[in-house]
Structure formats: C-alpha cells, structure tokens
C-alpha cells in the first residue's frame, strides 16, 4: 500500500513543489490549503505534513484538533525556527518538525522515518521513482534504464536513489557523504567522485549526473534518449569538481 500524505500548505509555489516531489518519490499526496480542510481530511491519510501559517486557523490549533481525533503522524513544516515553537508543537501532538526552507530529500527522509516509527517496522510499500528513462525501485533495490536492468553496487544504488529523490536539485558533497555514507564519515571525499564516475558509466550517459563546481552533484530532471555504450570515455574519470 502506498503511503497517503495530506499536505497542508496555502502557498501554491511551495505546495506544488512538495506534492510533485512526493508523487515522484512514490507517495500518494493530497493537497489542502486551510486548517478546516486539514482537520477534516486527516482521518483518511497515513501522514500529515502541516504548515503553521494557514489563512483560517493557526497550525498549532490544527495540530491539537487533529490529535484529539486521530493518532495519524504529523510533521510540521514551518518557518518558525525558535526552540519554543518546536516544543509547543511537539507537546501539541506533532511527531516531527522541519524548518523552512528545507530540502525535498530531508522532508522525504523525515516522512519515511516517522512512518516507520508509526508502523513499528518497515514503512508501507513505496512505488518506484521514475525520472525520465531511469526507474529506481527502492523496495526491490533495483534500477532500470529504458526498461533494461542496470547492475549497481549497494553504495551506487544508494547514491542514485538519493539524487533521484530530487532531480534537478543540487546535493552538496557534504550532505551526500553524511546521508549516503555515514554521519561520522572520515574517509577521503574522493570516494564520492569514484562512485559518481562508476555510476555514470553504468547508466551509459555521463551527462545525466552533473557536477556543480564547488558544491556537489545533481541528477538532470529529464534523463532520456538512447543509451551510449559502456565505453564512453567521459564516464570513466571522476568529475572535475574540486
């Protein structure tokens, strides 16, 4: 069963980005823009992502009312960053709190973590991520390009899945090493370059993973076209990203 997420957000630009990102990552999002609709719809979903600045009710009150009726997990997404605000929301029944602006990868990681805790085990089945010609199935840990299976190492798979959760978005080198390798990673950062080079070669299109000089890497938003052969020279060397 795909995880159903109620997104409570009245800013169209933020709402559209969250909804499209969740859908792309295999979730089933529903969007509402008021506190009243959030309270009414919370009983029909698996998790709520709640903005605080709503036009009819303060998000803290919405959180309280939802919690009075349901045990559905609630992740608050707000620009309010003070410790007092976080404490009040957690005491009002929120399960987690993410401060705006936040990255899509962070939000998805928090959703999955809260869903796992709520279920007492593995989260509900998440549909494969489709980014252009690439399909990443995190449940089966498999990757296909234009329907053809691609054999990756465990680390290469984790790296590609991480980038695929936010195609077009730049992932910082430090964040990749922290999230894909280990929070306490003390090895050479060049290992990331080596894995990117290998992943580019195996995908058959080195241009699909772009290096952003001095920052990190991103998966292009719409990878597609015919696969080039594995001998493509541009894919065999680490990217020139200092």
CATH classification code of 129-235: 1.10.10.10
pLDDT at 185 over 70: no
Q: Quick one: average pLDDT of 186-208?
A: 85
CA distance 119 to 52: 25
Greater confidence, 81 or 194?
A: 194
Mean pLDDT, range 152-166, rounded to an integer:
89
pLDDT digits (tens, 9 = 90+) for 1-48: 689 999 999 999 999 999 999 998 889 999 999 999 999 999 999 999
Q: How confident is the model at residue 230 (pLDDT cuts 50, 70, 90)?
A: very low
pLDDT reading at 139 higher than 90: no
Q: Which residue has the higher pLDDT, 91 or 67?
A: 67
- Give the span between the Cα atoms of 136 and 141, in whole angstroms: 7
Structural domain boundaries in the chain: 4-119, 129-235
Report pLDDT for 66.
93
**Domain 4-119 fold:** Rossmann fold (3.40.50)
Average pLDDT over residues 91-115: 86
What pLDDT does 56 receive?
A: 95
Average pLDDT over residues 213-231: 72
Share of the chain above pLDDT 70, in %: 85
Give residue 232's pLDDT band: very low, low, confident or very high (50, 70, 90).
very low
**Residue 231 — very low, low, confident or very high, per pLDDT cuts 50/70/90?**
very low
37-41, 122-126, 182-186 — which one is most confidently predicted on average?
37-41
Please tell me if the domain spanning 4-119 has the same topology as the one spanning 129-235. Answer: no
Tell whether the model's pLDDT for residue 240 goes beyond 80: no
Q: 0.85 cut: is pTM over it?
A: no
Predicted pLDDT at 126 = 66
Residue 183 pLDDT class (50, 70, 90 cuts): low
Confidence at residue 210, expressed as pLDDT on a 0 to 100 scale: 96
């Amino acid at each position: 069963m795909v995880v159903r997420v109620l997104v409570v957000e009245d800013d169209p630009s933020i709402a559209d980005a969250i909804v499209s990102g969740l859908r792309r990552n295999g979730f089933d999002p529903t969007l509402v823009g008021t506190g009243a609709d959030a309270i009414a719809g919370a009983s029909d979903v698996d998790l709520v992502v709640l903005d605080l600045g709503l036009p009819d009710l303060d998000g803290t009150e919405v959180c309280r009312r939802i919690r009075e009726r349901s045990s559905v997990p609630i992740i608050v997404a707000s620009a309010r960053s003070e410790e007092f605000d976080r404490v009040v929301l957690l005491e009002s029944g929120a399960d987690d709190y993410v401060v705006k602006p936040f990255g899509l990868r962070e939000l998805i990681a928090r959703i999955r973590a809260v869903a796992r805790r709520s279920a007492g085990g593995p989260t509900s089945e998440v549909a494969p991520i489709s980014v252009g010609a690439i399909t990443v199935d995190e449940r089966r840990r498999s990757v296909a390009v234009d329907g053809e299976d691609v054999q990756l190492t465990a680390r290469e798979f984790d790296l590609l899945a991480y980038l695929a959760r936010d195609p077009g978005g730049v992932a910082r080198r430090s964040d990749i090493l922290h999230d894909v390798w280990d929070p306490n990673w003390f090895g050479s950062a060049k290992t990331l370059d080596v894995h990117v080079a290998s992943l580019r070669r195996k995908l058959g299109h080195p241009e699909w993973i772009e290096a952003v000089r001095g920052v990190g890497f991103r998966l292009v938003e719409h990878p597609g076209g015919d696969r080039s052969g594995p001998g493509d020279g541009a894919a065999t060397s680490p990217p020139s990203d200092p």
